[in-house]
Chains A and B, each alone.
Chain A
Amino acid sequence: MSSLVILNVANGVVTGAFFVLMALGLSLILNLSGIINFAHGGFLALGGYIAFALSKYVGFLGALLLAPFLAAILGLAIEWTLIRRLYGRDPLYSLLLTFGLAFIFQDGTRYLWGAQGLPMAIPAFLAQPISDSLFFVTRYRLFNLAIVALIVALLFVLLRHTRFGIRIRAGTLDLETVAALGVNVRLLRSFNFGVGILLAGLGGVLAAGQFRLDPTMGDDYLMPSFIAIIVGGVGSLGGTVLGGLLIGIATGVTTVYLPSASEAVMYVMMAVVLLIRPRGLFGEEGMMS
């Protein structure tokens, strides 16, 4: 019984790590540009499929490195042509647009790669369990966690210690003043969007290696990621990371004791957190502080 709990906590942490990647990207885009990106799950799937296509030529690890950047470039093209026109408008416009994009991504990947799930080959050394007693934990899961931890650390360094990151944090509260200080806020928003999509694309490659590819794979992460942002506190990146992991663990553990509630548990968590702390666990007035 207890090893079953450990198994599900471990599973939950790994799933939570995917939520973290998704939620951080969503949060960057939401905070700086006020866009709720419903196509984020589509970008995740796209990252996975691009990696699938590339892996024949450059292997899994090569694809892991390249695919997120290709997804980000596509994201930049879409931001440049479509999304930027909606900045500063009623959020309803961007909701409709990104909702539509989500469907286009889904049908596009279905058209190109088929509706059935595709397995993504991972290197043999990653497919083994970490030990005989912990036979249910593959090295790949630890690898996933290590990559996510590394990326989160890099993102935090970017936001705290580079001018680009500092300007993003300043812009989340007062973009107008950032612009009046000479900063090209169009580029700032574009790069910020690109970083968000890069994280989603990376999540897609990692998820493809763990589960498999299918056109709707991103949908499973979208709602939990939004909830992770709300639970952690909108605008707090540390809170978003914690929120993602908590939601992952809660769903993982509930799967053991009350499988039918494993989805509902995250909504319950959100309701409880919001009742006690309406701003979320780490939400404070200063966004991204």
Chain B
Amino acid sequence: MTGANGTALSATGLHTFYGKSHILHGVSLEVAAGRITTLLGRNGAGKTTTLRSLIGLTPAREGRITIFGQETTRWPSFRVAALGVGYVPEGRRIFPNLSVEENLKVPLERSGPWSIARIYDLFPRLHERRHNRGRQLSGGEQQMLAIARALLVNPRLLMLDEPSQGLAPLVVREMFRIVEQMRSEGISVLLVEQNARMSLAIADHAYVLDDGAIVYSGPAKALAADEERVQALAGAGAGEWQADDSPLNGLSERYRNA
């Protein structure tokens, strides 16, 4: 069920509440195995709430979640993660009081190809800064650390919540390149983003969420071609991103405060 044509995750009819406020109104979505699925939507649409429901941090009150063939609907988040789900939370949530290396020792050690040594190969910058506290890192470095931390669970499914938020353009490109690389590693990806253009460029399938309900589901290419919709999704920031071809190995000091 995790083969090339299989489904990594499927959710049907999720209703999620914060106290009395009803946030998700019957969200259903699927993440195909080995593919990148992106979940787009404007501020407050419910993207973060959807991911939190899927990982079990804010359990859905109604609905059903199946991950790699297991029904995980009522599971606590540590059990969901232990199934092989890596989670990169909104705002990164780096442990500020721990060093970079200690941050990397927090995740469960599921067996698999990822080790701290391999993480340092992929992110040389994290190796350089391994003795620095989490709070001393730049935004870009923190985002890399958040992704690295999730990879150390050796995930079969990676869920990222706005990994490009607040990063400089070059770092954003680096970040999307890494997400693409994860797909070639065979990891299924659910990518929540505000940066509609770039997500659609790497994604296979796209969903659009609005007011807690899915309003679009289709191939990412098809949505990308619909300039009007993309404009609406991307809002004011649509034209701001400029391509920049200068090579980037690791993360530059220049983006320390990105």
Listed in ascending order, the chain A residues whose CB lies under 8 Å from chain B are 163, 166-167, 169-170, 172-174, 176-186, 285-289
Q: A167-B106, A286-B133 are in contact. Are A180 and B77 (CB under 8 A)?
A: yes
- Bound together, the chains give a CA A286 to CA B96 distance in angstroms of 7
Nearest Cβ on chain A to B106's Cβ, whole angstroms: 5
Q: A166-B105, A286-B135, A289-B133 are in contact. Are A182 and B98 (CB under 8 A)?
A: no
Which of B57, B95, B96, B109 meets A180, CB within 8 Å? B57
User: From B97, which residue of chain A is reached at the shortest CB distance?
Assistant: A286
- Asked whether A179 lies within 8 Å of B105 as measured between CB atoms, the reply is no
- Bound together, the chains give a CA A242 to CA B229 distance in angstroms of 62
Chain A residues positioned under 8 Å from B107 (CB to CB): 181-183
- Asked whether B87 lies within 8 Å of A178 as measured between CB atoms, the reply is no
Which of B81, B102, B149, B150 meets A179, CB within 8 Å? B81
- Bound together, the chains give a CA A167 to CA B152 distance in angstroms of 14
Chain A residues positioned under 8 Å from B108 (CB to CB): 181-183
Chain B residues positioned under 8 Å from A169 (CB to CB): 95, 97-98, 102
In this assembly, does B76 line the interface, its C-beta being within 8 Å of a C-beta of chain A?
A: yes
Nearest Cβ on chain B to A183's Cβ, whole angstroms: 6
Selected A-B contacts with CB under 8 Å, 18 pairs: A163-B105, A166-B98, A167-B105, A169-B95, A169-B102, A170-B95, A172-B97, A173-B97, A174-B95, A177-B95, A180-B89, A181-B150, A182-B107, A182-B108, A182-B110, A186-B78, A285-B96, A287-B97
Which of B89, B95, B153 meets A173, CB within 8 Å? B95
Chain B residues positioned under 8 Å from A174 (CB to CB): 93, 95
- Bound together, the chains give a CA A223 to CA B248 distance in angstroms of 57
Chain B 24-65: CB-based contact to A (< 8 A → 1; otherwise 0): 000000000000000000000000000000010100000000
Chain A residues positioned under 8 Å from B103 (CB to CB): 170
Nearest Cβ on chain A to B256's Cβ, whole angstroms: 20
Nearest Cβ on chain A to B12's Cβ, whole angstroms: 22
- Bound together, the chains give a CA A176 to CA B103 distance in angstroms of 14
- Bound together, the chains give a CA A180 to CA B82 distance in angstroms of 9
- Bound together, the chains give a CA A288 to CA B102 distance in angstroms of 13
Nearest Cβ on chain A to B78's Cβ, whole angstroms: 5
Chain A residues positioned under 8 Å from B102 (CB to CB): 166, 169-170
- Bound together, the chains give a CA A170 to CA B93 distance in angstroms of 11
- Asked whether B135 lies within 8 Å of A184 as measured between CB atoms, the reply is no
- Asked whether B76 lies within 8 Å of A179 as measured between CB atoms, the reply is yes
Question: Which 9 pairs, one residue from A and one from B, show the smallest C-beta to C-beta distance?
Answer: A286-B97, A182-B108, A182-B81, A289-B97, A181-B107, A170-B95, A179-B78, A177-B93, A182-B82
- Bound together, the chains give a CA A172 to CA B149 distance in angstroms of 18
Chain A residues positioned under 8 Å from B78 (CB to CB): 179-180, 182-186
- Bound together, the chains give a CA A180 to CA B97 distance in angstroms of 18
Nearest Cβ on chain A to B108's Cβ, whole angstroms: 3
Chain B residues positioned under 8 Å from A185 (CB to CB): 78
- Bound together, the chains give a CA A186 to CA B106 distance in angstroms of 15
A167, A180, A289, most chain B CB atoms within 10 A: A180
- Bound together, the chains give a CA A129 to CA B169 distance in angstroms of 72
- Report, as a range, how many residues of chain B touch the other chain: 20 to 34
Chain B 128-143: CB-based contact to A (< 8 A → 1; otherwise 0): 0000010100000000
Chain A residues positioned under 8 Å from B109 (CB to CB): 163
Chain B residues positioned under 8 Å from A179 (CB to CB): 57, 76-78, 81
Q: A163-B105, A174-B93, A286-B133 are in contact. Are A181 and B98 (CB under 8 A)?
A: no
Nearest Cβ on chain A to B227's Cβ, whole angstroms: 36
User: From B102, which residue of chain A is reached at the shortest CB distance?
Assistant: A166
Chain B residues positioned under 8 Å from A176 (CB to CB): 57, 77
Chain B residues positioned under 8 Å from A181 (CB to CB): 81, 87, 106-108, 149-150, 153
- Bound together, the chains give a CA A211 to CA B32 distance in angstroms of 68
Chain B residues positioned under 8 Å from A163 (CB to CB): 105-106, 109
Known: A170-B98, A286-B135. 20 other contacts (CB 8 A): A166-B102, A169-B98, A170-B106, A174-B93, A176-B77, A177-B89, A177-B93, A178-B106, A179-B77, A179-B78, A180-B55, A180-B57, A181-B87, A181-B107, A182-B78, A183-B107, A186-B78, A285-B135, A287-B97, A289-B133
Which of B55, B96, B106 meets A166, CB within 8 Å? B106
- Bound together, the chains give a CA A218 to CA B88 distance in angstroms of 45
- Bound together, the chains give a CA A179 to CA B77 distance in angstroms of 6
Task: Please report which residues of chain B, range 68-98, place their CB below 8 angstroms from some CB of chain A when the two chains form the complex.
Answer: 76-78, 81-82, 87, 89, 93, 95-98
Nearest Cβ on chain B to A112's Cβ, whole angstroms: 39
User: From B84, which residue of chain A is reached at the shortest CB distance?
Assistant: A182
